Structure formats: C-alpha cells, structure tokens
C-alpha cells in the first residue's frame, strides 16, 4: 500500500467534494463537546452604575449551554453512526463515479444507520465492561489498606501501581485494536452491505490478515492527529479569546454585564462553530483515509478473502 498516496488522495477528496463537510461537521459536533464557564464578583457584579446583575442575565447563557449540551448528547447517539455511514458511502461513491451529493450521504446514512449503531454498541459495551473489570482488579490491592498496617499499606500501593500500569497498557493496546476493527467493520457494513455480525467478523479477519497495513494507517493518522492537535489547541484558544474580546471591552467601558453578555456570547458561539467546522474537515479526511485504505486492501486481496 502507498500510504502517502492514500493520504494525499483523502485530502484531495476532502477539499474537492465539500458535500462531505456537512457530515464531517455533524460528526465533529456529535463527537466533541462544548462547554462554557464564567467568573464574576458574585453579588458585587453590577449591570450598570448602582444596579445589581439580574439573575436571568447570568443564568440565561448558562441554561442555554446546558440545554445545548443535553441536546448534543442525545443527538450524538443518532448523528454519530449516521454521519459515519454517510462519509463512508460518499467516499465509496466518489471512487466509483467521481462525484457525490449530500443526498447520497443522507440515503446511505439512514439505510445503514441501525447496523452501524449496532456494530458500535456490540463493540463498545463489552469493551467498557471489560475495562471496568480490569480497572477494578488493578485497584483491588488497595483493599489491604483496610488492615491499617504500614507494611500492608506499602505493599498495597506498590501492587496497585504495578497492576494499574499493566491494565492501562492492555487497555491502550486493546482499544487501538478494537478501534481499527470497528473502522473496518463499518466499511464492511456500508460498502459491502453486510450484516452486523458478518461485518464485525469480516472486519476482524481483514485486520488480522493485514495487520501491518492497517497498523501503518493507524500510525500515520496518529501522527497527523498529533500535528493537527499542536496547531488546533493554540488556534482554538486564540479564536475563543478573540471572540470574547468585544464583550470584555464592552464590560470594561460600561461596567454592565448585560450588554457584555449580549455581545460576547454570540461571538464566542461563532468562534466555537468555526472550530467545529475545522474539526469536521479533519474528520472527513480521516474517514476518507480509512475508506481508501479499505478499498485498496479489498482490491489487493479480493472481497471474498476478507
């Protein structure tokens, strides 16, 4: 496999076919999280000379953020598998016909949504249970602390540290392996139109038989994620800071919280929206890379061997 060629092709598809951005944005919105915070001087914060802040001026934005957060949590249950399936199907369509539309994404997304959701649950729920059990076993030596003896306390702490390191290592390696298997299973489901259990089984087989290739793709994208993270973190801080400046300036001039919130809050939301769009574009490129790698593997070994 020519990994750099796959990566270049993925970014080419991402940039040329902007219909993909919609589902990348939705995926980033569902996968990420928004939050807000604030500070103040409590009862001393005033809305203007001699007037205290009205509770609604402070609670309003907080309630809006809480409601948005709850809606995003519920929506992510639907949006995540739908957008995942849509991006896979649209990239497959681009490779077949040279073009795609958002309408195709909706069609594929909804048609494959139940199965992609089921695959995610069948992989994710047992993984979470095993992780909890392993973490509990790793922390089990702490029960020795109940005896309240110095020697046993030292032994408990030492054993817990050793076991937790081992558990974390197992969880990291297992998490990466299951993540790769899931990505292959999703593509078995969407591109080859297989059922839930067949997709998981054949995704596992494909990954096992091509461990070096899929491992290289994962490492390549891991490096890309590190590079984009180095850029995105300061960019995010800068965008949010710039968006908040007008509200801060208004408050400094007027010493009134209400106009500062009215001006600053929408600008901060716009900044977050801009960052989510960028994250969505990255999501598109990552999904396209895995889809192209999957298609190349299938072309090399043949669908019947997967």
What residue numbers bound the domain in which 58 lies? 9-34+50-301
40-55: pLDDT as tens digits: 333 333 334 434 444 5
- Within a domain: 114: yes
Q: What is the mean pLDDT of residues 118-132?
A: 93
Structural domain total, the chain? 1
64 falls in which pLDDT band (50, 70, 90)? confident
What average pLDDT does the structure give for the chain? 83
- Within a domain: 214: yes
Q: What is the pLDDT of residue 32?
A: 60
Q: What is the pLDDT of residue 165?
A: 95
273 falls in which pLDDT band (50, 70, 90)? confident
- Within a domain: 39: no
State the DSSP string of the chain: --HHHHHHHHHHHHHH-THHHHHHHHHHHHHS---------GGG-EEETTEEPPHHHHHHHHHHHHHHHHHHHHHHHHHHHHHHHHHHHHHHHHHHHS---HHHHHHHHHHHHHHHHHHHHHHHHHHHHHHHHHHHHHHGGGGGGGG--HHHHHHHHHHHHHHHHHHHHHHHHHHHHHHHHHHHHHHHHHHS---HHHHHHHHHHHHHHTHHHHHHHHHHHHHHHHHHHHHHHHHHHHHHHHHHHHHHHHHHHH--HHHHHHHHHHHHHHHHHHHHHHHHHHHHHHHHHHHHHHHHHHHHH-GGG-
Q: What is the mean pLDDT of residues 123-148?
A: 90
- Within a domain: 1: no
- Within a domain: 43: no
Q: What is the pLDDT of residue 185?
A: 95
226-250: pLDDT as tens digits: 988 888 888 888 887 787 777 777 7
Residue 140 makes CB contacts below 8 A (sequence gap 6+) with: 163
Q: What is the pLDDT of residue 145?
A: 85
In terms of average pLDDT, the best of 36-45, 48-57, 58-67, 245-254 is 245-254
168 falls in which pLDDT band (50, 70, 90)? very high
| pLDDT of 303 over the 60 cut | no
- Within a domain: 44: no
- Within a domain: 3: no
Q: What is the pLDDT of residue 59?
A: 62
**Share above pLDDT 90 across residues of the chain, in percent, rounded to a whole number:** 54
| pLDDT of 149 over the 70 cut | yes
- Within a domain: 88: yes
Q: What is the pLDDT of residue 189?
A: 95
């Amino acid at each position: 496999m020519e990994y750099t060629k796959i990566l270049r092709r993925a970014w080419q598809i991402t940039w040329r076919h902007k219909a993909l951005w919609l589902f990348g944005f939705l995926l980033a919105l569902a996968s990420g999280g928004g939050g807000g915070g604030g500070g103040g001087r409590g009862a001393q914060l005033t809305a203007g000379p001699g007037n205290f802040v009205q509770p609604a001026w402070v609670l309003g934005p907080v309630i809006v953020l809480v409601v948005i957060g709850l809606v995003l949590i519920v929506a992510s249950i639907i949006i995540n598998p739908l957008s995942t399936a849509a991006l896979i199907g649209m990239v497959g369509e681009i490779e077949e016909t040279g073009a795609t539309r958002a309408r195709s994404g909706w069609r594929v997304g909804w048609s494959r949504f139940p199965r992609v959701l089921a695959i995610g649950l069948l992989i994710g729920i047992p993984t979470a249970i095993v992780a909890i059990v392993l973490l509990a076993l790793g922390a089990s030596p702490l029960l020795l602390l109940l005896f309240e003896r110095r020697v046993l306390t030292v032994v408990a702490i030492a054993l817990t540290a050793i076991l937790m390191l081992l558990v974390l290592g197992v969880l990291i390696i297992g998490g990466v392996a299951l993540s790769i298997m899931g990505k292959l299973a999703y593509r078995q489901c969407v591109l080859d139109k297989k059922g839930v259990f067949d997709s998981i089984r054949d995704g596992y087989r494909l990954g096992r038989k091509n461990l070096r290739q899929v491992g290289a793709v994962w490492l390549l994208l891991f490096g890309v994620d590190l590079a984009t993270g180095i850029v995105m973190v300061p960019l995010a801080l800068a965008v949010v800071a710039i968006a908040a400046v007008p509200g801060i300036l208004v408050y400094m001039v007027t010493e009134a919280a209400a106009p500062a919130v009215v001006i600053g809050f929408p600008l901060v939301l716009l900044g977050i929206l801009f960052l989510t769009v960028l994250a969505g574009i990255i999501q598109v490129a990552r999904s396209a890379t895995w889809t192209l790698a999957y298609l190349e593997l299938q072309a090399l070994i043949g669908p019947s061997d997967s």
